[in-house]
Amino acid sequence: MPTVYGVNASPFVRKVRVVLAEKKLPYDLEPVIPINVSPEFRKMSPLGKIPAYRDGDVTLADSSVICAYLERKHPAPALYPADPYEFARALWFEEYSDTALVNVAGPKIFFKKVIAPRFFNQPVDEEGVKKAVAEDLPPLFDYLESQLGDGEGIAGGRFSIGDIAITSQFANLRHAGVGVDTKRWPKLARYVARTLERPSFAALWREEAAAFGTA
């Protein structure tokens, strides 16, 4: 059985687990917290980050690399568009999520609101969270709203790795109690709600909410 190394608080681990679920591939989750990781883990993930992945003799690091590997190894259902331009757009939204979105949703919101109080016994930096929600998120939401069409997915209208990466970040925001204003960003709000309801995301949401007490 393949193994995903990491913890369910990570949006990058979530990306890989959603791809595995969409492709109906069983796997084990081996908990690794990315602080002072072991030399063995660093052999799989030289930057010491989660997720890492083992499939027999193959080991891989980085969620985007692991998801691309899974697509080649298990092509159905396809999670990357066939059309060259839509393929590139899906990768762009993956990149956008894994850089711009996570920079705000992760350290400025999810960490302060969920991880710091629950796992580090620190008070919530409410002012910091408020500022990030008021100032940092809106331009990111404006951009996504401008890119969404009527289809299921943001790239080419079909569900893809772009949607998985975006929604993985919104799962962390939702755990932090941060939603999308339906009046200001109606398409984005509908899109996030719909994507989080997919069985692949919903099963993880239940597991995560039980672990964080955010249900």
Rule CB under 6 A: which residues touch ligand GSH?
10, 12, 34, 48-51, 62-64, 98
**Locate tokens 């980085």: which residue?**
62
Question: β-pairing, 28-30 with 52-55?
Answer: unpaired
Residue whose CB is less far from ligand GSH, 111 or 191: 111
Residue whose CB is less far from ligand GSH, 91 or 189: 91
- The nearest distance, CB 138 to ligand GSH, in angstroms, is 23
Q: Which of the 8 DSSP states describes residue 40?
A: H
- The nearest distance, CB 60 to ligand GSH, in angstroms, is 10
From the list 72, 81, 59, 50, the residue with the least C-alpha distance to 164 is 81
Residue whose CB is less far from ligand GSH, 140 or 189: 140
Q: How far apart are CA 125 and CA 148, in angstroms?
A: 32
- Give the dihedral sign, CA 210/30/61/42: positive
- The nearest distance, CB 64 to ligand GSH, in angstroms, is 5
From the list 32, 178, 192, 37, the residue with the least C-alpha distance to 114 is 178
For residues 195 and 167, is the Cβ–Cβ distance under 8 A? yes
- The nearest distance, CB 166 to ligand GSH, in angstroms, is 14
Residue whose CB is less far from ligand GSH, 13 or 140: 13
